[in-house]
Amino acid sequence: MKMVVLRAVETGTSPQSLNANVMAGERPICPNLQRYYYLSPREKIKYLATPEAQFLFSGLPTEVAEMLQKGFLAGSLGVNILGWEEVVVNYFMANSRIIPALAENPGTFTMLEKMYHFEPVNGVIDNYFLQCKSGGQALYNRYKVVTAKACDHIAEVLVNNGQCLMIDIGSGPGRNAIDICRLHPEFNGVIKIDCIDIDPAVITKGQELIAEFGIKQVEFVQKSMTRLRKRYHGNVGYGLLIGILCGLTRQERVGLLISLKSYFCKGARLVAASLLDKMIAEDLLCAYILRETTGWGLQYPPFGELKEVFEEAGWQYEGYFQDEPTRFYEIGIGVA
């Protein structure tokens, strides 16, 4: 239930209509992912032969491993496989900390804490996520490159304006903001970073972290990201939107970017990350497991769609950068 409420608010669409669709299990599979489900078993067998897939299957009970491999090769939705819930989903729920957390709330920051190596993982399933390209590799690369790019961008704002109000929208416990402050003590006194998140557990964790590191210029704002027009109305000089768009359809992304634009002053940048179809091309097994065990409706648009989305929402598109070397994300730079 928590997941449904968060998503409805975050998308900016009517909570009533979204709730009804999601609760009825009607959120359709991303068409790009579906195309890969339809590949022949011969074309998909390579995904079962990677070292991390082999590691996973060697640690699963035979019945679970066989049903998972068979479903994957056939491209079957879990809901259409007899015994899937009892055998595969129940096993993943009971033997992973990541899967139940994502099933309850796909937007959870707790998975990222593990993929960023701040929290240890236990067991075969969670270690599989940590090893695989989409998990501990691409997410970690994204986190690092976003911090580095944000530092450069903020330095530019400071050269031009002397000060900067930054917002991290859907910040989680503020890992990027904390790194920015720790890497650049000279920003102290001239930047303020508001970490906006709706989840009270995030706020508690983030406040513990800023106390631990003695950081004064980060504030946590427990609000829905779409309800801050009055607070910011054109004052924001820089923004991050990371780990938010990936579960939203194209229209939902446009709607969100339209509502966020009013927070920013003219010429300010917003950096937003979008998962790409490259993830399914290179790590289809992980995409299959995530969707069929947690019901997480991730979207996998082609490279270039983020530019169109920004522009449709009234932003200019300055360019992009990527999580290197994985390149599973297009990380776009919009200009208000």
Interface positions with ligand SAM (CB under 6 A): 6, 9-10, 107, 109, 112, 170-172, 175, 196-199, 202, 224-225, 242-244
- Minimum distance, C-beta of residue 229 to ligand SAM, in the bound complex (Å): 13
Pairwise CA distance, residues 108 & 99, whole Å: 11
- Minimum distance, C-beta of residue 11 to ligand SAM, in the bound complex (Å): 8
Q: Which is nearer to ligand SAM, 199 or 277 (CB)?
A: 199
Contact 202, 173 (CB under 8 A): yes
Q: Which is nearer to ligand SAM, 84 or 126 (CB)?
A: 126
Backbone angles phi, psi at 101, to 5 degrees: -65, -40
Going by the DSSP 8-state scheme, the letter that residue 80 receives in this structure is G
Gyration radius from the chain CA atoms: 20
- Minimum distance, C-beta of residue 46 to ligand SAM, in the bound complex (Å): 29
Pairwise CA distance, residues 286 & 126, whole Å: 12
- Minimum distance, C-beta of residue 129 to ligand SAM, in the bound complex (Å): 14
- Minimum distance, C-beta of residue 252 to ligand SAM, in the bound complex (Å): 12
Pairwise CA distance, residues 288 & 295, whole Å: 10
Q: Which is nearer to ligand SAM, 172 or 255 (CB)?
A: 172
Sheet holding 164-169, edge to edge: 218-221, 191-196, 164-169, 236-241, 264-275, 329-335, 316-321
Contact 301, 277 (CB under 8 A): yes
Q: Which is nearer to ligand SAM, 112 or 276 (CB)?
A: 112
Q: Which is nearer to ligand SAM, 212 or 266 (CB)?
A: 212
Cα dist from 134 to 183, 221, 275, 320, whole Å: 27, 29, 10, 19
Q: Which is nearer to ligand SAM, 37 or 109 (CB)?
A: 109
- Minimum distance, C-beta of residue 140 to ligand SAM, in the bound complex (Å): 10
